[in-house]
Amino acid sequence: MKRLTLSASLLAGFTFAAPSLAAVTQDVATQLIRGTVDKAVAVLSNPALQGAENRLERHAQLRKISDEVFDWGAMAQRSLGIHWRSLDARQRTRFRDVFKELLAAHYLSQLDRFQGDEKVVHTGTEAAGKDVKVKMLLETQSRASVPIHFFVNGDKQVFDVAIEGVSLTNHYRGSFNRLLVNGSFESMMKRLEQKLAVQRRVEARAGGSEEG
């Protein structure tokens, strides 16, 4: 599971996504993902952005890159699965807003483990209906190879990522399903909001220590 979260973080830097109005071409999807990966690697490899003292600026740049490509709302919806149907508009907005921040915060914290010696290569692209699957391979200095597949919709947005055949949204869907089967939506949201509050306090302390 550590490899899953780290690999997803490195490349991302999550009812299902609404159907796209038009299909995305394989070339466009491939260029989108390769460009995004290159941007993220450039930030992580930049000596001026490395170290704890540059953490906030590094995270800010990585978040900007991810926000341009990832459809956080679609990933939140997919991650809740069939339970999405039972929520009203207010509950859907609440869940989407909290989950996308948790996912982004987790992604950014995992990126701090990046060593700068990983290599990412494109291994192929396939049509998946109107969507496209872009296949990448993460290669480490230890020669471990991790297949990572990005799913891009007609809006040119990433709506899911699969690491070693495991969908990121499916992974979270299982966790959320257990919480909702054994408890209420309100209790689940309180847990998620508390977790987000802790993460934000950690970031705030890091920013304060850097300024001080």
What is the DSSP track for 36-100? HHHHHHHHHH-GGG-SGGGHHHHHHHHHHHHHHHB-HHHHHHHHHGGGGGG--HHHHHHHHHHHH
Q: For residue 22, what pLDDT is reported?
A: 65
pLDDT of residue 199: 82
How far apart are the C-alpha atoms of 131 and 73, rounded to whole Å?
Answer: 17
Q: What is the pLDDT along the chain (212 residues), one digit of tens a residue?
A: 555 555 555 555 533 444 444 678 999 999 999 999 899 888 888 889 888 888 888 888 988 998 999 998 888 888 999 999 999 999 999 999 998 888 777 767 666 666 666 788 999 999 988 899 999 998 877 777 888 899 999 999 999 888 888 888 888 898 899 999 989 999 999 999 999 998 888 777 766 644 44
Instruction: Report the pLDDT value the prediction gives residue 163, as an integer from 0 to 100.
Output: 80
pLDDT of residue 5: 52
pLDDT at 44: 84
CA gap 184, 102 in Å, rounded: 19
User: According to the model, what pLDDT value does residue 185 have?
Assistant: 95
Per-residue pLDDT at 124: 96
